[in-house]
C-alpha cells in the first residue's frame, strides 16, 4: 500500500494532543497475529491492543457480529433492555460465581463503578465506611478515582488533590494489609496478576488470606480482572485459580476482543445501587454486547482453554531456553500473560530493535518484557517470535 495523505504520520501527528511517545508508524490493517503498517510491512503482534484482542486482529466472528448487529439495532438508549445486553450478562454470570452485571465502556469506568458500589454498600451496611485498601504498583485506570486507587508511584504527584479514601499497602504482604484495616475500611481491591507493574502474580496464600480477612472484618473483596479476565491466564477468570470468593470482579480489555466494552460483575448479596446512582449513555449498548458475546462464545468453546495452557507451557519452555542462551532472568505470569526479566539487556531497547525486526513487544519495566499475544496463539507463532527475539539479543550481545 502506498503512503498517502491519510497515513502521513509525520505531517499529521501534530493534530493530536501528545499523550504518549509513539513510533512514526501508522497501522493500516490487522489479520490474526499480524499487523501491517503504512508501508505494508508485517509485524508479529504480541501486544494485541494491550492484551485486548482475544482472538487476534479482525477475526471473522467479530466482523460477522458487527455486521449482523449493526443492521439490526445499534442503540435503543440505556433506558431500555436490549437482547445482546441480556444475553452477555447471562453468559458472564452462568460462567462465574457472580449474579449481576453492569456494563461500561472501559476498565477504568468498571473500576469506578466498583469503588462507587463499595462506598454505597459501606453507607448502607457498614456505618459509612468508605476506605478501600489497594496495593503498591497496582494499576486500576486513568479516571481521577482510579488513578487515586492506583499504586503507581508516577501517579502520586499528578492532578492533586486526588480522590481520598485509598490506603496503599505492599502487594503480597498480608500482615501489612491486616494492619491497614480500620473502622472506616469497606473493601480490598487488587489485581490477581499486577499487569502494568510487570506481570507480578499474587501468591496463593496471600489471596486466601485476604479472602479470610475480608470475611472476618466484613469487607468487600474486589478483583480487578480487566487484564487477567476472559481466558488470559488459562482459566476464564484468574480468581478461579485462587482460594477466594470475591464480591466484585471488573472486566475489560479481552472482554470486547478489541472493541470498547467492560463490565462490573457482582455477587447479588451486595447489590445496592438505587435508580440513578449509576449509568452511562453507551453502557450495555447492543453493538458492543453482541461483539463481546461472539468473542466469549469462542473462548468458552470446547478445547479453547486447554490450548491456551498447552501453548503457554511451550512458550515458557522456549523462553527458558532463550534465558539460558542469553543470560536472561526469571519468567513470570500465567497462561498468555507472561514476562521475562531481561538480565543484562534493556527492555525498551529490545522493544525497539524487535519492532524493526517485525515483532511487537512491550517493556513494562526497564528490566522486563511482557508478552500478551492473542489467545489463539499456536506453537508456530511462538517459534517465529522467539527466533526474532533471539536475533535481536544476538545483535545486542555482539554490541556489548
Catalytic residues: 139, 224, 253
The binder of ligand PLP chosen from 85, 92, 133, 226 (CB under 6 A): 226
Tell me the Cα Rg of the chain: 21
Are 370 and 363 within 8 A, CB to CB?
A: yes
- Between 69 and 146, CB nearer to ligand PLP: 146
Nearer to ligand PLP, 260 or 389 (CB): 260
How many Cα atoms are found within 13 Å in the side-chain-facing hemisphere of 155?
22
Buried b (16+ CB within 10 A) or exposed e, 312-332: bebbbebbeebbeebebeebb
Report 80-139 residues binding ligand PLP (CB under 6 A). Answer: 106-108, 111, 139
Q: How far is the CB of 195 from ligand PLP (least distance, A)?
A: 5
Q: Segment near ligand PLP (CB under 6 A), from 5-13, 28-36, 220-228, 317-325?
A: 220-228
Q: Which is nearer to ligand PLP, 104 or 376 (CB)?
A: 104
Task: Confirm or reject binding of residue 140 to ligand PLP (CB under 6 A).
Answer: yes
Q: Which is nearer to ligand PLP, 150 or 177 (CB)?
A: 150
> Mask 323-362, x = binds ligand PLP (CB under 6 A)?
----------------------------------------
Partners of residue 250 on adjacent β-strands:
224, 264
User: What residues contact residue 339 under an 8 Å CB cut-off, 6+ apart?
Assistant: 198, 199, 331, 332, 333, 364, 368, 369, 370, 371
Task: Of 263, 288, 297, 255, give the one whose Cα is nearest residue 84.
Answer: 288
- Please, what is the minimum distance in Å from the beta carbon of residue 107 to ligand PLP? 2
Burial pattern 341-360, b for ≥16 Cβ within 10 A else e, equals: bbeebebeebbebbbeebbb
- Asked whether the beta carbons of 32 and 46 are under 8 A apart, the reply is no
Shortest-Cβ-distance residue relative to ligand PLP = 107
Flag whether 225 is marked binding.
yes
Q: Is 224 annotated as a binding residue?
A: yes
**Strands across the sheet containing 166-169:** 100-104, 262-266, 248-251, 220-224, 185-190, 131-135, 166-169
At closest approach, how far in Å is the CB of 206 from ligand PLP?
17
Measured in residues, the chain has a length of 400
Please name the residue that has the C-alpha cell 447479588.
268
Q: Report, in Å, the least distance between residue 141 CB and ligand PLP.
A: 4
- Tell whether residue 195 is among the known ligand binding residues: no
81 vs 159 by CB, closer to ligand PLP: 159
Please check if 108 is assigned to a binding site.
yes
Q: Can residue 200 be called a binding residue for ligand PLP (CB under 6 A)?
A: no
CB 222 within 8 A of CB 187: yes
For residue 107, say whether it is annotated as part of any ligand binding site.
Answer: yes
- At its nearest, how many Å lie between ligand PLP and the CB of residue 259? 11
What cell was used for 222?
Answer: 474486589
Site for ligand PLP (CB under 6 A): which residue of 234, 252, 286, 333? 252
Asked whether residue 206 is marked as a ligand-binding residue, the answer is: no
Q: Does 235 bind ligand PLP (CB under 6 A)?
A: no
- Nearer CB in complex with ligand PLP: 147/322: 147
Closest approach, Cβ 123 to ligand PLP, in A, equals 25
Question: Strand, helix or coil at 364?
Answer: strand
| 234 is annotated as contributing to ligand binding | no
DSSP for 244-269, written as a single string: ---SEEEE-GGGTBTBS-EEEEE-GG
Site residues (CB under 6 A) for ligand PLP, limited to 254-273: 262
Shortest Å, Cβ 399 to ligand PLP: 34
Nearer CB in complex with ligand PLP: 38/148: 148
**Environment class of residue 176 by beta-carbon count within 10 Å: exposed (0-12), middle (13-18) or buried (19+)?**
middle
Asked whether position 227 contacts ligand PLP by CB under 6 A, the answer is: yes
Q: Which residues are annotated as a binding site for N(2)-acetyl-L-ornithine?
A: 142
Contact residues for ligand PLP, defined by CB under 6 A: 106-108, 111, 139-141, 191, 195-196, 224, 226-227, 252-253, 262
Amino acid at each position: 500500500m502506498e503512503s498517502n495523505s491519510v497515513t502521513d504520520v509525520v505531517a499529521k501527528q501534530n493534530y493530536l494532543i501528545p499523550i504518549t511517545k509513539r513510533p512514526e508508524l501508522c497501522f493500516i490493517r490487522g489479520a490474526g497475529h499480524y499487523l501491517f503498517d503504512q508501508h505494508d510491512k508485517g509485524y508479529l503482534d504480541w501486544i494485541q491492543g494491550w492484551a485486548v484482542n482475544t482472538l487476534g486482529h479482525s477475526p471473522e466472528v467479530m466482523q460477522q457480529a458487527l455486521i449482523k448487529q449493526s443492521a439490526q439495532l445499534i442503540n435503543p438508549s440505556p433506558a431500555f433492555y436490549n437482547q445482546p445486553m441480556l444475553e452477555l450478562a447471562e453468559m458472564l454470570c452462568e460462567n462465574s460465581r457472580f449474579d449481576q452485571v453492569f456494563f461500561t465502556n472501559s476498565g477504568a469506568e468498571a473500576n469506578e463503578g466498583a469503588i462507587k458500589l463499595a462506598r454505597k454498600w459501606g453507607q448502607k451496611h457498614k456505618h459509612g465506611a468508605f476506605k478501600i485498601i489497594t496495593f503498591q504498583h497496582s494499576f486500576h485506570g486513568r479516571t481521577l478515582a482510579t488513578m487515586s486507587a492506583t499504586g503507581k508511584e508516577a501517579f502520586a504527584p499528578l492532578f492533586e488533590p486526588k480522590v481520598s479514601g485509598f490506603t496503599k499497602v505492599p502487594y503480597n504482604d498480608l500482615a501489612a494489609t491486616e494492619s491497614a484495616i480500620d473502622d472506616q475500611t469497606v473493601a480490598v481491591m487488587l489485581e490477581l496478576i499486577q499487569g502494568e507493574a510487570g506481570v507480578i502474580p499474587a501468591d496463593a496464600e496471600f489471596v486466601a488470606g485476604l479472602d479470610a480477612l475480608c470475611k472476618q472484618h466484613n469487607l468487600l473483596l474486589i478483583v480487578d480482572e480487566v487484564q487477567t479476565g476472559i481466558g488470559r491466564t488459562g482459566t476464564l477468570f484468574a480468581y478461579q485459580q485462587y482460594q477466594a470468593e470475591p464480591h466484585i470482579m471488573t472486566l475489560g480489555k479481552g472482554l470486547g476482543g478489541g472493541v470498547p466494552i467492560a463490565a462490573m460483575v457482582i455477587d447479588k448479596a451486595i447489590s445496592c445501587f438505587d435508580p440513578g446512582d449509576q449509568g452511562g449513555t453507551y453502557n450495555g449498548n447492543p453493538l458492543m454486547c453482541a461483539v463481546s458475546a461472539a468473542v466469549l462464545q469462542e473462548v468458552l468453546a470446547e478445547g479453547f482453554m486447554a490450548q491456551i495452557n498447552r501453548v503457554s507451557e511451550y512458550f515458557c519452555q522456549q523462553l527458558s531456553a532463550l534465558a539460558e542462551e542469553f543470560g536472561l532472568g526469571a519468567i513470570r505470569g500465567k497462561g498468555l500473560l507472561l514476562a521475562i526479566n531481561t538480565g543484562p539487556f534493556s527492555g525498551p531497547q529490545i522493544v525497539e530493535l524487535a519492532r524493526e525486526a517485525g515483532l511487537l513487544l512491550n517493556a513494562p519495566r526497564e528490566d522486563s518484557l511482557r508478552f500478551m499475544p492473542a489467545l489463539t496463539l499456536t506453537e508456530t507463532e511462538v517459534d517465529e517470535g522467539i527466533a526474532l527475539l533471539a536475533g535481536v539479543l544476538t545483535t545486542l550481545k555482539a554490541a556489548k
